[in-house]
Amino acid sequence: MKRAALSALVIAAVVISGCAKLLQDDFESYTAGEVPGGSIPGSPACDAIETVGAATQFSVGPTNAIAGNQSLNFEPAFADEVSRIDFLPCEPSGNDHSIRFRWRGRFQGPSSSPGVQVRITDGDDQLFRAYLLFNVTRSSIEIGSAGTVNHTIEGDFSRPHAVVARIVPGTPDQYFIAIAGEGVSASDAAPEGNLSELVDFRPRDAFLRMLWQSGASVTETYLVDDVIIEQGQ
Protein backbone atom coordinates (compact mmCIF):
# COMPACT_ATOMS: atom_id res chain seq x y z
CA MET A 1 0.00 0.00 0.00
CA LYS A 2 2.75 2.40 1.03
CA ARG A 3 4.82 1.37 -1.95
CA ALA A 4 1.90 1.90 -4.33
CA ALA A 5 1.31 5.36 -2.90
CA LEU A 6 4.98 6.26 -3.26
CA SER A 7 5.06 4.99 -6.83
CA ALA A 8 2.05 7.11 -7.64
CA LEU A 9 3.80 10.13 -6.15
CA VAL A 10 6.94 9.50 -8.15
CA ILE A 11 4.97 9.17 -11.38
CA ALA A 12 2.97 12.29 -10.53
CA ALA A 13 6.17 14.23 -9.96
CA VAL A 14 7.36 13.49 -13.48
CA VAL A 15 4.00 13.69 -15.25
CA ILE A 16 2.86 17.25 -15.29
CA SER A 17 -0.21 18.46 -17.08
CA GLY A 18 -0.57 20.75 -20.05
CA CYS A 19 1.56 18.86 -22.55
CA ALA A 20 0.88 18.29 -26.23
CA LYS A 21 0.45 14.63 -27.17
CA LEU A 22 2.68 13.57 -30.04
CA LEU A 23 1.80 9.85 -29.94
CA GLN A 24 -0.70 7.68 -28.11
CA ASP A 25 -1.52 4.00 -28.43
CA ASP A 26 -3.51 1.92 -25.92
CA PHE A 27 -4.01 -0.98 -28.40
CA GLU A 28 -7.74 -1.11 -27.66
CA SER A 29 -9.00 -0.36 -31.17
CA TYR A 30 -7.13 -3.14 -32.97
CA THR A 31 -8.64 -6.48 -33.93
CA ALA A 32 -7.23 -9.27 -31.75
CA GLY A 33 -4.24 -10.75 -33.56
CA GLU A 34 -3.68 -7.64 -35.65
CA VAL A 35 -0.10 -6.55 -36.33
CA PRO A 36 0.29 -2.83 -35.63
CA GLY A 37 1.90 -0.77 -38.36
CA GLY A 38 1.51 2.55 -40.10
CA SER A 39 -0.77 5.22 -38.69
CA ILE A 40 -1.91 4.67 -35.09
CA PRO A 41 -5.72 4.77 -34.71
CA GLY A 42 -7.16 7.83 -32.95
CA SER A 43 -5.62 11.13 -31.92
CA PRO A 44 -3.08 12.52 -32.69
CA ALA A 45 -3.42 11.99 -36.44
CA CYS A 46 0.27 11.99 -37.36
CA ASP A 47 1.72 9.29 -35.09
CA ALA A 48 2.80 5.93 -36.50
CA ILE A 49 4.34 2.54 -35.78
CA GLU A 50 7.00 0.79 -37.82
CA THR A 51 8.01 -2.83 -37.27
CA VAL A 52 10.97 -4.87 -38.48
CA GLY A 53 10.59 -8.63 -38.19
CA ALA A 54 8.04 -11.35 -38.89
CA ALA A 55 4.37 -10.62 -38.31
CA THR A 56 4.20 -13.32 -35.64
CA GLN A 57 6.48 -11.24 -33.41
CA PHE A 58 4.01 -8.39 -33.01
CA SER A 59 0.42 -9.06 -32.15
CA VAL A 60 -2.26 -7.21 -30.25
CA GLY A 61 -4.48 -9.28 -28.00
CA PRO A 62 -6.08 -9.91 -24.62
CA THR A 63 -3.56 -12.41 -23.23
CA ASN A 64 -2.20 -11.01 -19.95
CA ALA A 65 -3.32 -7.50 -20.98
CA ILE A 66 -1.77 -4.80 -18.79
CA ALA A 67 -4.34 -2.04 -19.21
CA GLY A 68 -7.82 -2.21 -20.71
CA ASN A 69 -8.65 -5.31 -22.73
CA GLN A 70 -5.63 -5.58 -25.04
CA SER A 71 -1.87 -5.04 -25.08
CA LEU A 72 0.87 -5.43 -27.67
CA ASN A 73 2.68 -8.76 -27.43
CA PHE A 74 6.25 -8.31 -28.69
CA GLU A 75 8.37 -11.43 -29.16
CA PRO A 76 11.96 -11.95 -30.31
CA ALA A 77 12.83 -13.49 -33.64
CA PHE A 78 14.59 -16.80 -34.01
CA ALA A 79 18.33 -17.20 -34.60
CA ASP A 80 20.21 -13.91 -35.00
CA GLU A 81 17.45 -11.92 -36.58
CA VAL A 82 16.55 -8.58 -35.09
CA SER A 83 12.98 -7.72 -34.28
CA ARG A 84 12.03 -4.21 -33.35
CA ILE A 85 9.16 -1.80 -33.11
CA ASP A 86 9.49 1.96 -33.49
CA PHE A 87 6.93 4.38 -32.07
CA LEU A 88 7.17 7.46 -34.27
CA PRO A 89 5.57 10.59 -32.80
CA CYS A 90 4.24 13.66 -34.55
CA GLU A 91 6.96 16.26 -34.88
CA PRO A 92 7.22 18.58 -31.87
CA SER A 93 7.31 22.32 -32.44
CA GLY A 94 11.04 22.62 -31.85
CA ASN A 95 14.18 21.27 -30.22
CA ASP A 96 13.98 23.52 -27.17
CA HIS A 97 11.02 21.83 -25.43
CA SER A 98 11.28 18.81 -23.19
CA ILE A 99 9.90 15.53 -24.49
CA ARG A 100 8.40 12.76 -22.39
CA PHE A 101 8.00 9.06 -23.11
CA ARG A 102 5.67 6.79 -21.16
CA TRP A 103 4.77 3.14 -21.44
CA ARG A 104 3.53 0.21 -19.43
CA GLY A 105 5.32 -3.08 -19.77
CA ARG A 106 5.43 -6.63 -18.50
CA PHE A 107 8.41 -8.91 -19.14
CA GLN A 108 7.59 -12.57 -19.49
CA GLY A 109 10.50 -14.97 -19.72
CA PRO A 110 13.10 -16.75 -17.62
CA SER A 111 15.76 -15.01 -15.55
CA SER A 112 18.38 -16.25 -18.05
CA SER A 113 16.99 -13.98 -20.75
CA PRO A 114 19.21 -10.99 -21.64
CA GLY A 115 16.02 -8.95 -21.86
CA VAL A 116 14.44 -6.48 -24.20
CA GLN A 117 15.99 -3.13 -25.05
CA VAL A 118 14.06 0.09 -25.10
CA ARG A 119 15.76 3.14 -26.55
CA ILE A 120 14.79 6.75 -26.55
CA THR A 121 16.80 7.99 -29.45
CA ASP A 122 16.98 10.84 -31.94
CA GLY A 123 18.52 8.85 -34.77
CA ASP A 124 19.22 5.42 -36.24
CA ASP A 125 22.97 5.72 -36.01
CA GLN A 126 23.35 5.37 -32.27
CA LEU A 127 27.08 5.77 -32.09
CA PHE A 128 26.82 9.39 -33.07
CA ARG A 129 23.38 10.23 -31.78
CA ALA A 130 22.00 10.94 -28.35
CA TYR A 131 19.99 8.19 -26.73
CA LEU A 132 18.79 6.80 -23.46
CA LEU A 133 18.82 3.03 -23.09
CA PHE A 134 16.67 0.74 -20.93
CA ASN A 135 17.44 -2.95 -20.69
CA VAL A 136 14.40 -4.63 -19.20
CA THR A 137 14.72 -8.14 -17.75
CA ARG A 138 12.53 -10.08 -15.38
CA SER A 139 14.32 -8.73 -12.30
CA SER A 140 15.97 -5.46 -13.27
CA ILE A 141 15.89 -2.42 -15.51
CA GLU A 142 19.31 -1.06 -16.41
CA ILE A 143 19.33 2.55 -17.58
CA GLY A 144 22.22 4.16 -19.37
CA SER A 145 23.49 6.30 -22.18
CA ALA A 146 26.56 6.19 -24.41
CA GLY A 147 27.15 2.55 -23.58
CA THR A 148 27.41 3.12 -19.83
CA VAL A 149 24.87 1.79 -17.34
CA ASN A 150 24.07 4.65 -14.96
CA HIS A 151 21.31 3.04 -12.87
CA THR A 152 20.16 -0.49 -12.10
CA ILE A 153 16.62 -0.67 -10.77
CA GLU A 154 15.62 -3.96 -9.20
CA GLY A 155 12.07 -5.22 -9.06
CA ASP A 156 9.70 -7.89 -10.29
CA PHE A 157 9.21 -6.75 -13.88
CA SER A 158 7.36 -9.94 -14.74
CA ARG A 159 4.55 -7.95 -13.14
CA PRO A 160 3.09 -4.87 -14.85
CA HIS A 161 5.28 -1.78 -14.49
CA ALA A 162 5.21 1.79 -15.74
CA VAL A 163 8.07 3.90 -17.02
CA VAL A 164 8.13 7.65 -17.55
CA ALA A 165 11.23 9.30 -19.02
CA ARG A 166 11.58 13.00 -19.68
CA ILE A 167 14.48 14.53 -21.57
CA VAL A 168 15.13 18.21 -21.13
CA PRO A 169 17.33 19.77 -23.82
CA GLY A 170 20.11 21.94 -22.46
CA THR A 171 23.81 22.03 -21.77
CA PRO A 172 24.04 19.24 -20.91
CA ASP A 173 20.81 17.47 -21.87
CA GLN A 174 19.18 16.03 -18.75
CA TYR A 175 16.91 13.05 -18.15
CA PHE A 176 14.37 12.44 -15.40
CA ILE A 177 12.90 8.97 -15.03
CA ALA A 178 10.18 7.45 -12.87
CA ILE A 179 9.64 3.72 -12.57
CA ALA A 180 6.67 2.16 -10.81
CA GLY A 181 6.53 -1.57 -10.31
CA GLU A 182 6.36 -4.38 -7.81
CA GLY A 183 9.47 -4.55 -5.65
CA VAL A 184 10.90 -1.20 -6.81
CA SER A 185 12.19 0.69 -3.79
CA ALA A 186 11.25 4.34 -3.47
CA SER A 187 14.89 5.39 -3.32
CA ASP A 188 15.56 3.77 -6.72
CA ALA A 189 12.35 4.79 -8.44
CA ALA A 190 13.32 8.20 -9.81
CA PRO A 191 16.81 8.18 -11.33
CA GLU A 192 18.02 11.27 -13.13
CA GLY A 193 21.21 12.47 -14.76
CA ASN A 194 22.85 13.99 -17.78
CA LEU A 195 22.93 12.39 -21.21
CA SER A 196 26.57 11.67 -21.93
CA GLU A 197 26.62 12.08 -25.68
CA LEU A 198 28.71 13.67 -28.35
CA VAL A 199 25.87 15.73 -29.74
CA ASP A 200 22.80 17.53 -28.43
CA PHE A 201 19.59 15.54 -28.14
CA ARG A 202 17.07 16.66 -30.77
CA PRO A 203 13.45 16.24 -29.67
CA ARG A 204 12.24 16.87 -33.25
CA ASP A 205 13.88 13.62 -34.38
CA ALA A 206 13.17 11.59 -31.24
CA PHE A 207 11.31 8.29 -31.18
CA LEU A 208 10.86 5.23 -28.99
CA ARG A 209 12.38 1.95 -30.15
CA MET A 210 11.92 -1.47 -28.56
CA LEU A 211 14.02 -4.35 -29.79
CA TRP A 212 15.31 -7.80 -29.10
CA GLN A 213 19.02 -7.76 -29.80
CA SER A 214 19.29 -11.40 -30.71
CA GLY A 215 17.02 -14.27 -31.53
CA ALA A 216 15.03 -16.19 -28.99
CA SER A 217 16.77 -19.00 -27.19
CA VAL A 218 13.92 -19.19 -24.72
CA THR A 219 10.23 -18.33 -24.72
CA GLU A 220 9.96 -14.68 -23.84
CA THR A 221 7.82 -11.71 -24.63
CA TYR A 222 7.43 -8.07 -23.64
CA LEU A 223 3.87 -6.90 -23.25
CA VAL A 224 3.51 -3.20 -24.00
CA ASP A 225 0.59 -0.85 -23.41
CA ASP A 226 -0.36 2.82 -23.02
CA VAL A 227 2.53 4.22 -25.02
CA ILE A 228 2.46 8.01 -24.90
CA ILE A 229 4.94 10.60 -26.19
CA GLU A 230 4.36 14.22 -25.25
CA GLN A 231 6.00 17.57 -25.77
CA GLY A 232 6.57 19.48 -22.55
CA GLN A 233 7.24 23.10 -21.80
Residues that bind Ca ion (CB under 5 A): 26-27, 67-68, 225
Tell me the closest approach of the beta carbon of residue 60 to Ca ion, in angstroms: 9
The residue (of 30 and 157) whose beta carbon lies closer to Ca ion is: 30
The residue (of 106 and 129) whose beta carbon lies closer to Ca ion is: 106
Tell me the closest approach of the beta carbon of residue 133 to Ca ion, in angstroms: 25
Tell me the closest approach of the beta carbon of residue 212 to Ca ion, in angstroms: 21
The residue (of 100 and 106) whose beta carbon lies closer to Ca ion is: 106
Q: How far apart are CA 226 and CA 69, in angstroms?
A: 12
Q: How far apart are CA 218 and CA 221, in angstroms?
A: 10
DSSP-assigned letters across all residues of 60-79: EESTT-SSTT-EEEE---ST
Q: How far apart are CA 116 and CA 111, in angstroms?
A: 12
The residue (of 68 and 215) whose beta carbon lies closer to Ca ion is: 68
The residue (of 27 and 101) whose beta carbon lies closer to Ca ion is: 27
The residue (of 29 and 233) whose beta carbon lies closer to Ca ion is: 29
Tell me the closest approach of the beta carbon of residue 25 to Ca ion, in angstroms: 9
Q: How many residues does the chain have?
A: 233
Tell me the closest approach of the beta carbon of residue 72 to Ca ion, in angstroms: 8
Tell me the closest approach of the beta carbon of residue 75 to Ca ion, in angstroms: 18
The residue (of 92 and 160) whose beta carbon lies closer to Ca ion is: 160
Q: Which residue is nearest to Ca ion (CB)?
A: 68
Tell me the closest approach of the beta carbon of residue 150 to Ca ion, in angstroms: 30
